[in-house]
Amino acid sequence: MSQQIPIAFVDQFKNAILILSQQKQTELRRTTRMESVVGDVMYVERLGSKEPQLRGARHGETPISDADHTRRKLLMADYVVPADLIDKPDRLKMIIDPQSAYVRNQVYGLNRAIEDVIITAIFGTTLGGHEGGSTINNYDAGECRLVQSDGTIQTAGSDWTNKTETALTIQKLLTCKQLLDDAEVDKDLERFFLANPYNVNQFMNLTEVKSSDYNTSKALAKGRVDSFAGFTFITSTRLPADDTDTGSTKCAAFAQDAIALAIAEEPSVNVDLRPDLLNSVQVFSTLSIGATRVEGPRVVPILLKTS
């Protein structure tokens, strides 16, 4: 960094450092179930439902059965942002102190790392079993239900197969809602729809969405879709393409707390003096996090046209 600092010298007439456009905050963090963790591995305990039965004969034996107790394994990962160095002579030649801008810039990068970890948990594999020895795909039977890009529901237990690439429609959104309802996902939980900008824009252009006759949120006036059909919309440019159909982007409808997010260390920025580098100031950031999908039926992944 010290080799590039002259661009901000006084003779360039700069009075502020411009932080280039980037995602600064993590919108997905609030959708997760937050966990505290010590160490590099954590287990999230899960308890299945139990159904009542008729009492039976008077003075009969008390019925006993074990609740379905399962767990998901969560692995922690450590992140660092490569350090910035600010040389003392450079600071003396500048109108501004760049230190605070470097701190903000690094925190923004760590927030994007949190977003990426959550997105991977939504679409990727998770570890199950008593010691986390079983790998569970998002499309496995009993886990998530996938929706094809053409809006059809994929057969349980199989990955996406249809190569049709189409954008988000109201019918597709309602199909995702149906799958969450079929899984008896608690209707009191907030529901979210995660999509890339192209599909959000295509959705906003639908008559039922942009017209106040159908939708009171006035999406076009505000330039965004806040909510529709019970879903809060989250737009992300960091969603992955389908593994085989790269013209499609993985999007998802999901409910609150479908993902467990464990943070051993919040985004931490250290500003230190480096005597070994002529007393330059070093800005260095770290983060320790992990995430896993704890309840597959709360997540409905859907393929949508990328652009």
Q: Structural domain boundaries of the chain? A: 140-260+294-305
- Give the span between the Cα atoms of 182 and 306, in whole angstroms: 28
Could you report the per-residue pLDDT of 7-62, keeping only the tens digit for each? 444 444 344 445 566 777 789 999 999 988 888 888 888 777 778 888 888 888 88
pLDDT level of residue 287 (50, 70, 90 thresholds):
very high
CA 103, chain centre distance (Å): 23
Task: Give the count of alpha carbons within 13 A of 171, CB side only.
Answer: 8
- Is pLDDT at 96 greater than 80 in this prediction? no
Q: In whole angstroms, give the CA distance from residue 169 to residue 206.
A: 8
pLDDT at 115: 95
pLDDT of residue 251: 98
203-237 pLDDT per residue, tens: 988 877 776 555 555 554 455 677 889 999 999 99
pLDDT of residue 42: 85
d(CA 27, CA 12): 36
| Nearest CA-CA partner of 234 in 267, 264, 256, 213 | 256
Q: What is the pLDDT of residue 8?
A: 47
Greater confidence (191 vs 246) lies with 191
The pLDDT of residue 298: 97
208 contacts: CB under 8 Å, gap ≥ 6: 170, 214, 215
pLDDT of residue 10: 40
Q: Which residue has the higher pLDDT, 253 or 37?
A: 253
- 265 pLDDT more than 60: yes
User: How much is the pTM?
Assistant: 0.85
Name the nearest CA neighbour of 197 among 216, 178, 215, 224: 224
Alpha-carbon distance 284 to 81, whole Å?
A: 6
pLDDT in tens, 110-144: 999 999 999 999 999 999 988 889 999 999 999 99
Q: What is the mean pLDDT of the chain?
A: 85
| pLDDT, position 60 | 83
